Amino acid sequence: MKQLMNKICNSGNVISLTFCLVVTVIGGCKSLDPTKDLEEVEVGIYGGLGSWDVSVTALSLAVMEAGYEYQEFNEIDVFNNDISRFRMIIMPGGNPQDYSSALGSIGMKRIQNFVKFGGGYFGVGAGASIADMDSLVWGGIGIFNGDSVWPINQIAQYPETVLTEILKTEVDHDVSRGSADKFTTLYRWGPYFVPYHPDNFSTIYNYSITGSPAMVSFTYGSGIVVLTGCQFEIEENDERDGGDFGNNLYDPETEWELINNSIKFCMSDLF
């Protein structure tokens, strides 16, 4: 295969050179080297530019507690297509505009292709906001054929952080099955979700205040996607999330089971 690629790219033929260029743009220069063999890791957590370090730390601890192997990655790993080693990726809380700037059109295309060809995607807060189609201000990854609308001013205006209640809407979904009918959880500028084409789209939890989707799932290509506008990873009254963010707030329960269930679902085989 490697000899074939070299022959094509060195032929001087316009069509062949165009093919070589397309492969390079979509997969990166390293995609021309099929001998590259990355060791598979279950979960990748984005910790690059735009990410919220509190969210990255808490998600890392939640993933470890659930028994999964994980590694952090950044925008350089995305550009180099090194995310191919993961079965799924988690995009944490942060700033979606900074995500868009850091990843650029090439990085977001890399992630889009990762999901299209079978990788799972769990977007939390900003990681859910950046999953939609292009907005008027910045580019989105484009795996959600709809609009992730943020912030939700009825809950809290940017940049406030508050607790809010979510209500289960689908009792037999793999993510919500056996979980509580409602949770009190942290809201930090997250979106609600408006699908353009509701086929293959499930609403798992709604915001109690607005009745709009707070947690959803769907497929993109061969990949499974779960998005939430809430920061389930933050344990307001428990140090197990690795920090003290929100310790002045009282949350009566943990939502880490929803993180665990989302990871299982994103790595499941629906096809």
- pLDDT values of the chain reduced to their tens digit, one per residue, 271 residues: 333 444 444 444 444 434 444 444 444 444 433 334 678 999 999 999 999 999 999 999 999 999 999 999 999 999 999 999 999 999 999 999 999 999 999 999 999 999 999 999 999 999 999 999 876 677 999 999 999 999 999 999 999 999 999 999 999 999 999 999 999 999 999 999 999 987 899 999 999 999 999 999 999 999 999 999 999 999 998 899 999 999 999 998 999 999 999 999 999 986 5
In DSSP notation, 163-208 reads EEEEEE--TTSTTTTTS-SEEEEEESS--EEEESS-TTEEEEEEET
Place of tokens 């290509």: 221
